[in-house]
Amino acid sequence: MTQLNANWVFLPRFHPGDENFKKGYYDSFLDHISLRWAQSSLFKNISDILPAADLVVSLFSTVGIEAVYKRKRVIDYLPPYVCDRLEELTGERTWNPAELGATQKADSEETLIKSIKYLFSEKGFAELQKNQERFYPTLQAGDSARKILETIESVK
């Protein structure tokens, strides 16, 4: 795998139930990336560090969606084994934010590197943000209550 910028700081927050991480599954992948690791115990919730993040790499996670709303660069890393798990959980092999272009989809180590480079280009980030704003608009005060009332009215 091509080396990434050695000045980056990697802040891993793996799902507490991720047995693969506990077994060292990610070690061989992460060995190829020249990054400084930060101690993940410095923060309790991933939301605490999202405002400072330049890039979020997610595996079909609500953290990725939260980062979309913050207009961050987001890559949904969806190699075949992740899509297998997604299908097992949802019956689908696709992840909506990635399909809509609100996140960048990567399905291998090679496309992950290409996606990172693309999102740090002016064109890539502009296209991503355009899709984020289109498909995940931020709500204004009162919008939630209005949408709830509209939904209730439409069910009557």
pLDDT digits (tens, 9 = 90+) for 70-121: 999 999 999 999 999 999 999 999 999 999 999 999 999 899 989 999 999 9
Scan for tokens 């740090």, then name that residue.
Answer: 120
What pTM was computed for the model? 0.76
Gap between the Cα atoms of 103 and 65, Å rounded: 8
Distance between CA 112 and CA 85 in Å, rounded? 19
Q: Which residues make Cβ contacts (< 8 Å) with residue 43, sequence separation at least 6?
A: 11, 13, 49
What pLDDT digit, counting tens, does each position of 110-152 carry?
999 899 999 999 999 999 999 999 999 988 888 888 888 988 9
> pLDDT, tens digit, for every residue of 47-84?
888 888 899 999 898 999 999 999 999 999 999 999 99
